[in-house]
A and B are shown apart, each in its own frame.
Chain A
């Protein structure tokens, strides 16, 4: 079963707008990561946020983590057509060795 569930499943926005996608997970984690997948470049790591961090930035990406709500959000500002892709969160559960688990993904379409 999936540890993470992304919301929404699909999102369509105009170029230049901001895109926000959310990830909820079930168990305590050591860290949470976001990945992007498109047909051109495959699955690519975007950003990692540790459980003791609340917010992290990387270029046009902003990630927040709320461990009390077991949720994270990914904000892409000033979106571009090239941001069209599926976005996945991946959680690294805490409490002993467990595998990294990917969520179901959000399909983002940025319309030029």
Chain B
């Protein structure tokens, strides 16, 4: 089975712009979670989706949003980018909300 894929892998944006990141889960996985990873804060939970419904949301401002499509693919959007949004954004899929399979991540740099 193909693993979790994330696009793009690297992204450079300017403050104030918006960005959309994409995640394709492993075939058959209906749960998708998103995390932000930074050296200072570690892995921080953003959202979790299951069958197109947001099941849970982390403590991030409303500039961070996401959605899941009927084919389980997911996107997350960050509007009005700030320097502090520079991070590795990881997507993970799972069958049972337990063992998560992570993608390689999207490295976002905000200048």
Contacts and interface: CB of A to CB of B under 8 A. Distances in A.
Given A99-B48, A102-B35, A43 B42 contact: no
> Which of under 10, 10 to 19, 20 to 34, or 35 or more describes the interface residues of A?
10 to 19
Contact of A48 (B35, B56, B98, B104): B98
Nearest to B99: A45
Contact of B42 (A42, A99, A105): A105
Nearest to B56: A99
Interface in A75-111: 88, 92, 97-105
B102 A43 contact: yes
Contact of A92 (B98, B101, B104): B98
Interface of A (DSSP majority class)? strand
Contacts, number: 43
A102 B45 CA distance: 8
A7 B42 CA distance: 14
B55 interface: yes
A98 to B, nearest CB: 7
A63 B58 CA distance: 28
A33 interface: yes
A31 interface: yes
B29 to A, nearest CB: 13
Contacts of B102: 42-44
A48 B99 CA distance: 8
Interface in B53-105: 55-56, 58, 90, 92, 97-105
Interface of B: 33, 35, 42-43, 45, 48, 55-56, 58, 90, 92, 97-105
Interface of A: 2, 31, 33, 42-45, 48, 88, 92, 97-105
8 contacts: A42-B102, A42-B103, A42-B104, A45-B101, A48-B98, A98-B56, A99-B48, A99-B58
Q: Which 3 A-B pairs have the closest CB atoms?
A: A102-B43, A43-B102, A99-B56
